[in-house]
Chains A and B, each alone.
Chain A
Amino acid sequence: DAGITQSPRHKVTETGTPVTLRCHQTENHRYMYWYRQDPGHGLRLIHYSYGVKDTDKGEVSDGYSVSRSKTEDFLLTLESATSSQTSVYFCAISAEQDIRTDTQYFGPGTRLTVL
């Protein structure tokens, strides 16, 4: 298994509070991604990173920010959590962009509940 950990694995919080999710990798992969998984929607990309301090928005980025100060860590922050952000969040990593070798490896997920 790819060395990807996510913390916390479960979190319950209240509307309006800030929340930070952490993704940590030991593979030294350049690319990192944050997805959310919701029933009927599959996985949707929130933000991604193509290097330290280099990040960009995905298809559902509103209400989320990210930071990557080290190769191994990619943080996802909900500045003011809302109930619509209740979801399961997955981090993924990949080493290459070449289709022959490009594979995204996924972490175990973080289940976030916003009350």
Chain B
Amino acid sequence: AQSVTQLGSHVSVSEGALVLLRCNYSSSVPPYLFWYVQYPNQGLQLLLKYTSAATLVKGINGFEAEFKKSETSFHLTKPSAHMSDAAEYFCAVRLFSGGYNKLIFGAGTRLAVHP
């Protein structure tokens, strides 16, 4: 069965520092993976997704993620944090069951950015 684990429920970085949010997956089939961001009091917005076309995926707002099969990881990075990046980030894996595709989400990582 597919699942994802996000390491660290809270991450704090300084403005301008590297952002690294960790996600490891478990899947019996080649996975399709997603990162979503949730700003306060809003719904989720897709940052990027891995569909096996390329292992390094670039998303919106300067984020990118690298799929590493050997490490079963799909970590999210951004070279330089901005105050506006403060939000909660969710990793998700696509699950095919009951004839349809669904998303299985991790528990989320809350990113704080301080001056």
Q: How large is the interface on B (under 10, 10 to 19, 20 to 34, 35 or more residues)?
A: 20 to 34
In the complex the two chains form, is B102's CB within 8 Å of A50's CB? Answer: no
In the complex the two chains form, is B90's CB within 8 Å of A42's CB? Answer: yes
Q: Is B17 an interface residue (CB 8 A)?
A: no
Which A residues lie within 8 Å of B107 (CB)? Answer: 40-42
Interface residues of B in 84-115 (CB under 8 A from A): 90, 94, 98, 100-103, 105-108
Q: B9, B44, B46, B106 — which one has the most chain A CB atoms within 10 A of its CB?
A: B44
Q: Is B14 an interface residue (CB 8 A)?
A: no
Secondary structure at the B interface, as helix, strand, loop or mixed, is strand
Q: Is A74 an interface residue (CB 8 A)?
A: no
In the complex the two chains form, is A48's CB within 8 Å of B100's CB? Answer: yes
Which A residues lie within 8 Å of B46 (CB)? Answer: 103-105
Interface residues of A in 53-85 (CB under 8 A from B): 56, 58
Which B residues lie within 8 Å of A105 (CB)? Answer: 46
In the complex the two chains form, is A106's CB within 8 Å of B32's CB? Answer: no
With known contacts A42-B108, A99-B32, A99-B51, A90–B102 Cβ distance under 8 A: no
| Total of A-B residue pairs, C-beta within 8 Å | 53
Q: Which residue of chain B lies nearest to A38 when distances are taken between CB atoms in the complex? A: B107
Q: What CA separation (Å) do A100 and B49 show in the bound complex? A: 9
Interface residues of B in 18-69 (CB under 8 A from A): 32, 36, 41-46, 49, 51
In the complex the two chains form, is B103's CB within 8 Å of A45's CB? Answer: yes
In the complex the two chains form, is B44's CB within 8 Å of A100's CB? Answer: no
In the complex the two chains form, is B42's CB within 8 Å of A108's CB? Answer: yes
A residues with a Cβ closer than 8 A to B are: 4, 31, 33, 40-45, 48, 50, 56, 58, 90, 92, 97, 99-100, 102-109
B residues with a Cβ closer than 8 A to A are: 6, 9, 32, 36, 41-46, 49, 51, 90, 94, 98, 100-103, 105-108
Q: List 23 A-B contacts (CB under 8 A).
A: A31-B100, A40-B107, A42-B90, A42-B106, A42-B107, A42-B108, A43-B103, A43-B105, A45-B103, A48-B100, A50-B100, A56-B100, A58-B102, A97-B101, A99-B32, A99-B51, A99-B101, A104-B103, A106-B45, A108-B42, A108-B43, A109-B41, A109-B43
